[in-house]
Structure formats: structure tokens, C-alpha cells
Amino acid sequence: SPWDGRQWLVTAGHCYGVGTHVYAAGGNYIGQVKYQLPAIDSSFIEAPTNRYTWDGLDAAGYSRYLNGVRNVAVGDFTCQLGYNSKVVCNIRTVYSGNVSWNVNGTTVWGSYGVPHYGGIVGRGGDSGGPVIYINDTDSRQLNGIVSVGYGCNAAQECSTGLGWVDVWSIFNGFSIKLNPS
């Protein structure tokens, strides 16, 4: 946060309420949700952060440096790094910042993409995962966080499309920026 120096991890607001203590799948404590902004489907966990995101494009998985942020443009191909899907790429952006969906009674605006080659674009449990653009072989550009999936079956596999909250909506809405480290 540029105004008070605190560090924030952002996830989907519909996943955790204010006051919730959040743990990683392995049981490691991440932090406590301190704020929530329903209009951008975002919860803010006060926790030490760095400028890397997990990237499992190789079988072992590794992290990639986030070299910057930008909202997507129509036609961009993105990837989403949701918890259950791990890495799904070739998501073709068809709406850029001008589509809305309902999250617990609140209208949320963002971007929307479809699986370019068909198949599963997301799964239940992917919400809050980063949406990224591959603009470099060794680093990634942050575009937003997963908020909603469409065309989901009983196994929560979504094949029609994916909606995400744009990065600048989150950064401007909570006065934060990418950790410079």
C-alpha cells in the first residue's frame, strides 16, 4: 500500500469474509482478511507479499516474476492460475472491462474470456487466482483475479467462459500497487 507501507494479498471477495484467517492448502498460515470490497469482488489479506506468482507451465511448477500490470484488450490471450485448475492458457478476451456479473447480490464489472480451443477454462475453487499475460519468457504481466466461471457442470468444470476483475479496478479501488521487490 503506497499510503501506509502495509502489504496486501488480494483474493476473490466471495471466498473469505472480513476477519477470516486464511491458510494455504498445506496448512501454512497466510493472514487475516482485513477488508472487503464487494463492488470489485475482492478481499484483502494483510500478509507479507512479493512480486512473484506461481506458474506451473512446467510439470514441477515454479514461480515467475510479475513485470508489470495492465488491463487486457479485446483479442488478448491470457492464462488463469486458479488453485484447482493450476494453469489454463489460451483464454481469448472478448470483453475488456465492460461486462458485468452478479456476486452475492452485487454487480461486479470486469473482463471476460473464452477458451480459444475449447475445453475447460476454469474450475470451482479458482476464484481469486491471478489472470496473467505472457509477455516475456521469464516473467508475466498481471491482468486481474478470477471472479466467475460460466458453463460449469456438476463437477464445477467451466467450459463456456471466465470473468475476472481487472487489475486497475483493484489497485485503484484499494489504493495499492504491485510490490516493488
CATH of the domain at 105: 2.40.10.10
CB burial of 48-80 (b: ≥16 within 10 Å; e: otherwise) equals ebebebebeeeeeeeebebeebebbeeebebbb
Q: Average per-residue pLDDT in the chain?
A: 92
Domain region containing 58: 51-172
Contact 98, 107 (CB under 8 A): no
Backbone angles phi, psi at 168, to 5 degrees: -70, -25
> What average pLDDT does this structure show over 97-124?
97
Q: How confident is the model at residue 80 (pLDDT cuts 50, 70, 90)?
A: very high
In a domain, 31, yes or no: no
- DSSP annotation of 104: T
Contact 164, 80 (CB under 8 A): yes
Interatomic CA distance for residues 71 and 57, integer angstroms: 22
CB burial of 5-31 (b: ≥16 within 10 Å; e: otherwise) equals eeebbbbbbbbbeeeeebeeeeeeebb
In a domain, 1, yes or no: no
Residue 25 in this model has a pLDDT that exceeds 80: no
Q: What's the pLDDT at 43?
A: 97
Q: What's the pLDDT at 112?
A: 99
Domains in the chain: how many in total? 1
Distances in Å between the Cα of 28 and the Cα atoms of 22, 24, 66 are 9, 5, 23
In a domain, 33, yes or no: no
Interatomic CA distance for residues 54 and 65, integer angstroms: 9
In a domain, 10, yes or no: no
Interatomic CA distance for residues 151 and 125, integer angstroms: 15
Task: Give all strands of the β-sheet with 29-37 in edge-to-edge order.
Answer: 8-12, 42-46, 29-37, 21-23
Backbone angles phi, psi at 40, to 5 degrees: -120, 20
Pairing of strands 52-55, 62-69: antiparallel
In a domain, 36, yes or no: no
In a domain, 87, yes or no: yes
Q: What's the pLDDT at 56?
A: 61
In a domain, 64, yes or no: yes
In a domain, 79, yes or no: yes
